[in-house]
Structure formats: structure tokens, C-alpha cells
Amino acid sequence: VHIADPNGPFNDRGKWCADPVEFWRMQMGLERILQRHPKLVVVAAHGSWLVCQDAQLDFLRYLFKTYPNFYVDLAATDQYYNLVDHDNLRNLFIEYSDRIMFGTDIGRLKENEIPGLAERYAKSFMILESSDIVDGSFFGNKETRGLGLPKEVLEKIYYKNALRIYPYINGRMQRLGYNEGSLNKVH
């Protein structure tokens, strides 16, 4: 599901959902769905846009803790990581690594777009994998300090969580010759 749009800190609200009242109205609507349907598996695109302020990270932690079938993907979120406390974000990713999936917000593309996207993917990977300062992100151009996530966290975010909650992906990977053991190996 796609809930809201980014609502950053004061004086940096962004062009998407600048009204914090509207932003939180949509987030509360999501929570009502989660309350009414506790067995429903929900994957919120873009981290449910709860990555632009530390208070939003706190609410995301609350959703993870309260609703065991709630997941998020990271599509287009790394451009906002510089707006929150680095350690707070890193700790959330580690604590709830079984509920977070990698994503980029890119659908179909033309072959001539691939070279430019490869660099953008590399920046996203660097933000998750290294502790370096990364010049830009998948969509943004602001410097972002990498999270330096542990290997086991990265494996969950990059593929293990998707294999677990999307049966089609798991079956497709097995038909291609991968099994749980081979997916755990570094190639």
C-alpha cells in the first residue's frame, strides 16, 4: 500500500505532503486498517514515509512492535536519511530487519537508462552497507552517512524477507535453481 507522501521537518516539508495534519490523518487511517485486520499482511511502500523525522521513526517502531504483519519497503527513502538521527535510523533497521525490504521505486525502464541507474543503485547499496559519507542517494543529491548494517541484516532487507512473505518470489527462485541454502551463500 502507498500511504501519504513525504512530510519532512519544519522548513523542509517538501513538495509532496507539506501539511502535517493531512500526513498524520493518512497514517492513522493505516493504523485503523491494521487494527481491524490483524491477520492481513501489509507492506507499506516507501517505509510508509515514516523516515523523514525522528518522531516518525518512533511511530514506525510502534507500528512494527504492535502489528506483527506490518512490513515496509525502502523505495525512494534514502534521500531522506540525512534528516533523521543516524544512530536512531540504524538501530531501527537492525531491530526490525525482519520487517524491512529493499526497493527503489523504479518500474519499467529503457535500455539506455540502465547506466545511470547502475550508479544510483550503487549509492543505495553504499548507504546501507558502508559507514562512509555517500554523495547523493537513489533520488536525492544530499550527502548521506552510510548505515554500515551487518551482513545478516542486509540479507534480510535485500532478499530474505521478500522470499518469506511473497510465495511467488520464493517459488520462482526455486524454479531458477536457487534454494534456501544457495541463497544464503555469498556468490
Give a three-class secondary structure readout of 81-93.
HHHCCHHHHHHHH
CB 77 within 8 A of CB 105: no
pLDDT in tens, 40-58: 999 999 998 899 899 999 9
Q: Is the pLDDT of residue 172 over 90?
A: no
Q: Specify burial of residue 157 (Cβ count, 10 A radius: 0-12, 13-18, 19+).
A: buried
Tell me which of 16 and 67 has the higher pLDDT.
67
- Higher pLDDT, residue 21 or 78: 78
Instruction: Using alpha carbons, select from 90, 12, 4 the residue that is nearest to residue 47.
Output: 4
Whether pLDDT at 162 is above 70: yes
Position 6 pLDDT exceeds 80: no
Sequence letter at residue 171: G
Whole-model pTM: value is: 0.86
pLDDT at residue 180, as a whole number: 63
In this prediction, residue 88 carries a pLDDT of 98
Q: What cell does 125 get?
A: 547499496
Taking the C-alpha atoms of residue 150 and residue 122, their distance in angstroms, rounded to an integer, is 17
Query: For 108-153, what is each residue's pLDDT tens digit?
Result: 778 888 887 888 889 999 999 999 999 887 777 889 999 999 999 9
* DSSP H helices in the chain: 20-36, 54-66, 86-95, 114-129, 151-155, 161-165, 167-175, 180-184
Lowest mean pLDDT among 16-25, 42-51, 57-66, 75-84: 16-25
* Rounded-to-integer distance, Cα 120 and Cα 111, Å: 15
Model confidence at 186, in pLDDT bands (50, 70, 90)? very low
Q: Mean pLDDT for the chain?
A: 87
More confident residue, 89 or 22: 89
Give the whole-angstrom CA distance, residue 77 versus residue 44: 12
